[in-house]
Amino acid sequence: EMKCKPTDTPGNVDIPALRERYRQERDKRLRPEGQKQYAKVREEFSDTYTADPHMPVVPRDPVSEDLDVAILGAGWSGILAAYHLRNAGVCSFRNIDHAGDWGGVWYWNRYPGIQCDNDAYCYLPLLEETGFMPSRKYADGYEIYDYFRLIADKYSLGENALFHTLISSLRWDERIRRWRIGSNRGDDIRARFVIVANGLLNIPKLPNIPGIHDYKGRMFHTSRWEYDYTGGTYRNPVLDKLADKKVAIIGTGATALQAIPYLGRYARHVYVLQRTPSTVDQRHNAPTDPDWAQGLEPGWQKERMANFHRAAMEGRLLPGESDLVCDFWTEISRNMSAELEAEGWPRLTPEEYATRREAMDYRVLERMRRRVDEIVRDRETAAALKPWYRFLCKRPLSNDDYYDTFNRPNVSLIDVSATRGVERMTGKGFVANGVEHQVDCMMFASGFEVSSDRDRRWGIDVFEGRNGVSIYDHWRHGYKTLHGLMTHGFPNQFFIGYYQGGLNATTTEQCSRQAYHAAYIVKEALSRGMAAVEPSLEAQDAYVRHIRETAIDIADFQAECTPSYYNNESEKVTDEKGDRKYRNFLGEGYGPGWDAFQRLLQEWRDNGDLAGLVLEPDQR
Ligand code: NDP
Question: Confidence class of residue 587 from pLDDT cuts 50, 70 and 90?
Answer: confident
Q: Report residue 60 CA to chain centroid gap.
A: 32
DSSP 524-541: HHHHTTEEEEEE-HHHHH
CA proximity to 319, closest of 345, 339, 354, 343: 345
Q: What is the pLDDT of residues 92-131, one digit of tens each?
A: 999 999 999 999 999 999 999 999 999 999 999 999 999 9
397 close to ligand 1 (CB < 6 Angstrom): no
565 close to ligand 1 (CB < 6 Angstrom): yes
Probe target for ligand 1 pocket from 446, 452, 566, with the most ligand atoms within 8 Å of CB: 446
Contact 251, 445 (CB under 8 A): yes
| Residue 138: per-residue pLDDT | 98
CA of 394 to the centre of ligand 1 (A): 9
The mean pLDDT of 312-337, rounded to a whole number, is: 96
Return d(Cα 168, Cα 181) in angstroms, integer.
8
Q: What is the pLDDT of residues 341-352, one digit of tens each?
A: 999 999 999 999
Nearest CA to ligand 1 atom 21: 251
Contact 365, 335 (CB under 8 A): no
Return d(Cα 607, Cα 144) in angstroms, integer.
38
Return d(Cα 281, Cα 368) in angstroms, integer.
7
Return d(Cα 235, Cα 397) in angstroms, integer.
22
324 close to ligand 1 (CB < 6 Angstrom): no
Please name the helix (run of DSSP H) or strand (run of DSSP E) that holds residue 102, with its range, or none. none
CA angle 335, 337, 339 (to 5 degrees): 70
561 close to ligand 1 (CB < 6 Angstrom): no
CA proximity to 469, closest of 446, 502, 491, 437: 491
CA proximity to 273, closest of 384, 364, 198: 384
Probe target for ligand 1 pocket from 137, 225, 249, 250, with the most ligand atoms within 8 Å of CB: 250
User: For residue 421, what is the DSSP state?
Assistant: S
The mean pLDDT of 298-304, rounded to a whole number, is: 98
CA of 212 to the centre of ligand 1 (A): 18
The two beta strands, 38-39 and 206-207, are antiparallel
398 close to ligand 1 (CB < 6 Angstrom): no
| Helices vs strands, H then E, count in the chain | 22, 23
Q: What is the pLDDT of residues 596-618, one digit of tens each?
A: 999 999 999 999 999 999 999 98
Question: Confidence class of residue 38 from pLDDT cuts 50, 70 and 90?
Answer: confident
Higher per-residue confidence, 433 vs 113: 113
| Residue 559: per-residue pLDDT | 86
Is the pLDDT confidence value at 1 over 60?
no
Question: Confidence class of residue 337 from pLDDT cuts 50, 70 and 90?
Answer: very high
| Residue 123: per-residue pLDDT | 98
Q: What is the pLDDT of residues 455-479, one digit of tens each?
A: 888 889 999 999 999 999 999 989 9
pTM of the predicted protein model: 0.96
CA of 207 to the centre of ligand 1 (A): 11
Probe target for ligand 1 pocket from 389, 395, 399, with the most ligand atoms within 8 Å of CB: 395
273 close to ligand 1 (CB < 6 Angstrom): yes
Nearest CA to ligand 1 atom 14: 446
| Residue 239: per-residue pLDDT | 98
CA of 254 to the centre of ligand 1 (A): 6
SS3 content of the chain, % helix, strand, coil (to 5): 35, 20, 45
Q: Where are the alpha helices (DSSP H) in 424-536?
A: 454-457, 471-474, 507-527
Q: Where are the alpha helices (DSSP H) in 278-434?
A: 290-294, 300-309, 331-342, 350-375, 379-384, 402-405
| Residue 94: per-residue pLDDT | 97
422 close to ligand 1 (CB < 6 Angstrom): yes
CA proximity to 193, closest of 95, 71, 74, 79: 71
251 close to ligand 1 (CB < 6 Angstrom): yes
The mean pLDDT of 75-90, rounded to a whole number, is: 98
Return d(Cα 116, Cα 134) in angstroms, integer.
11
Question: Confidence class of residue 42 from pLDDT cuts 50, 70 and 90?
Answer: confident
| Residue 620: per-residue pLDDT | 62
199 close to ligand 1 (CB < 6 Angstrom): no
CA proximity to 230, closest of 108, 140, 112, 402: 112
Return d(Cα 329, Cα 391) in angstroms, integer.
9
Question: Confidence class of residue 76 from pLDDT cuts 50, 70 and 90?
Answer: very high
CA of 591 to the centre of ligand 1 (A): 28
The segment with the largest mean pLDDT, out of 23-37, 213-227, 567-581, is 213-227
421 close to ligand 1 (CB < 6 Angstrom): yes
The mean pLDDT of 400-414, rounded to a whole number, is: 98
395 close to ligand 1 (CB < 6 Angstrom): yes
Q: Which residues contact 360 (CB under 8 A, 6 or more apart)?
A: 9, 332, 335, 336, 339
CA proximity to 576, closest of 476, 455, 463: 476
Distances (CA, A) of 511 to 84, 475, 490, 494, 577: 11, 21, 20, 12, 30
CA of 347 to the centre of ligand 1 (A): 40
337 close to ligand 1 (CB < 6 Angstrom): no
252 close to ligand 1 (CB < 6 Angstrom): yes
Q: Which residues contact 602 (CB under 8 A, 6 or more apart)?
A: none
- Mapping DSSP to helix (H, G, I), strand (E, B) and coil, where does residue 159 land? coil
DSSP 535-561: E-HHHHHHHHHHHHHTPPP-HHHHHHS
- Closest ligand 1 atom to residue 422 Cα is 19
% of the chain with per-residue pLDDT over 90: 85
Judging by beta carbons within 10 Å of its beta carbon (0-12, 13-18, 19+), is residue 270 exposed, middle or buried?
buried
| Residue 563: per-residue pLDDT | 86
Q: What is the pLDDT of residues 141-196, one digit of tens each?
A: 999 999 999 999 999 998 889 999 999 999 999 999 999 999 999 999 999 999 99
464: left (phi over 0), alpha (psi -120 to 50) or beta: beta
CA of 191 to the centre of ligand 1 (A): 36
Q: Which residues contact 608 (CB under 8 A, 6 or more apart)?
A: none
CA proximity to 58, closest of 153, 160, 145, 185: 185
User: For residue 448, what is the DSSP state?
Assistant: B
Distances (CA, A) of 420 to 54, 161, 191, 204: 33, 43, 46, 20
**Lowest mean per-residue pLDDT among 223-237, 430-444, 524-538, 579-593:** 579-593
549-579 in b/e form (b: 16+ CB < 10 A) is eeeeebeeebeebbbbbbbbbbbbbeeeeee
CA of 258 to the centre of ligand 1 (A): 11
Q: What is the pLDDT of residues 244-298, one digit of tens each?
A: 999 999 999 999 999 999 999 999 999 999 999 999 999 999 999 999 999 999 9
Return d(Cα 317, Cα 310) in angstroms, integer.
6
Please name the helix (run of DSSP H) or strand (run of DSSP E) that holds residue 415, with its range, or none. strand 411-415
Average per-residue pLDDT for the chain: 95
| Residue 195: per-residue pLDDT | 98
| Residue 2: per-residue pLDDT | 59
